[in-house]
Amino acid sequence: MRTETIDVLTDYARANPDVMLLTADLGYSVLERFAEALPAQYANVGVCEQAMAGIAAGLALSGRRVALYSIANFPTLRCLEQLRNDVCHHNLPVTVIAVGGGLAYGAQGYTHHGVEDLGIMSMLPNMAVACPADPHEAMALLPQLLERRRPSYLRLGRAGEPILHRSDAEITLGRAVWLRRGADIALLATGPILGRALRAADALASRGISASVASFPTFSPLDASAVHETAQRHRAILTLEEHMVEGGFGSRVAETLLMAGLAPRFGKFGVTDALRGRIGGQSWLLDTLGAVEDHAQALL
C-alpha cells in the first residue's frame, strides 16, 4: 500500500510543482523514487517531527501543498501540538501520511502501535481523516485529500496489503463502499481489517447467517447516510477497526446511530486494554481478540 501511494504522490507532484514531500529520516526503500524524480520538492528534515510540522506550516503559508511521511505515531502524536496549532487552526494544505497504522509494527511494541491516531486526528479542526483498506482505496484517496487544500491525514498499512476491491470500485472521500449485501448483520470496517470482515462473512454464511460488508475508507467525515441505511436494513451491526475501540470508528458509528434515534444490536471489534503492552506479530495480536464471526454471531 505504501509503495503504490508514493507512486501516486510522485506522479501528482510531477504535475503539480507546488507539492512538496517532507520526511523525518524515514521511508528508505520507499521515498527514493520521489526524491530522485523531484529533488527540489523533497526534504529529509532529520529526526525532528515537531520541526517537520512547523516547516510544513511555513511552506504551506508560502503557497505550497505539503505531504509529511513517517511511521505511525511519529508524524501524529509526537508533533500533535504543532499539527493542532500551526497546521489545523490555520487550515493549511498539509497532508500527513502515516505508514504502519494499527498493529502493523506489532513486534516493535507499544511505541510503534498506532492505535489512538484516528480518534485523536479526527478531533483536530479542519482535518479530514482517511484509513484505506487496500492499495485501491489509498491510491484513490490521496489525490482527493491533496485537492482539498486543507489539513488531512492518510493512515496506511505497512506493506503487502492485498487488493480487496474490484478494479472499477469507486472510492470517494466521505463515502462508504459496499462489498457484500446480506440481510442479518452488517460488518462495517475501516482500514485493512476489512479483509477479516470479508472472511468472517464467508464463515457466517456457512452457519446460515447472511452478512453485509462495507468499507469506510473515510473516518472523518463519516458517511452518516450509510450508517443510517445499515441500521434500517439489518438486525445487528458490528464495527471493525485496528484501533482502540474507545473513541475510534465504532464509537463514531454508535454516536451517529444514537443521534438518529436508531438502535440496532451493536458491537465493536478492535483493540482493547487486553493488548496493552503485548508484543507480537500483527496477525497474532489481532487473533488474540477472537474470531470476528464469533463476535458477530453473538449479537444475533
What are the sequence ranges of the domains in the chain? Answer: 2-155, 177-299
Counting every residue written for the chain, the total comes to 300
SS3 label, residue 21: strand
Phi/psi for 63 (5° steps) reads 100, 5
Q: Do domains 2-155 and 177-299 have the same CATH topology?
A: yes
Instruction: Please give the angle made by the CA atoms of 92, 4 and 26, to the nearest 5 degrees.
Output: 65
CA pair distance 237, 46, nearest whole angstrom: 44
The partner residues of 117 in beta bridges, in order of sequence, read none
Q: Which of 248, 238, 256 is nearest to 297 (CA)?
A: 238
CATH class of 2-155: alpha beta
* Average pLDDT for 159-166: 90
CA atoms of 42 and 81, how far apart (whole Å): 24
Q: By the 8 A CB rule, do 53 and 80 touch?
A: no
- Give the pLDDT of residue 34: 97
Please answer whether residues 164 and 133 qualify as being in contact, where contact means their C-beta atoms are separated by less than 8 angstroms: yes
Cα–chain center distance at 83: 18
Q: Distance (Å, rounded) from C-alpha 298 to C-alpha 300?
A: 6
The pLDDT confidence band at residue 248, using thresholds 50, 70 and 90, is: very high
Q: Which three cell numbers stand for residue 234?
A: 439489518
Give 54-75 pLDDT, tens digit per residue.
Answer: 999 999 999 999 999 999 999 9
Query: Please, which residues bridge with residue 269 across strands?
Result: 240
pLDDT tens for residues 112-133?
999 999 999 999 999 999 999 9
Q: Is the pTM of this model over 0.85?
A: yes
Does residue 28 register a pLDDT over 90? no
d(CA 276, CA 181): 35
**Residue 160: pLDDT over 90:** no
CATH topology assigned to domain 177-299: Rossmann fold (3.40.50)
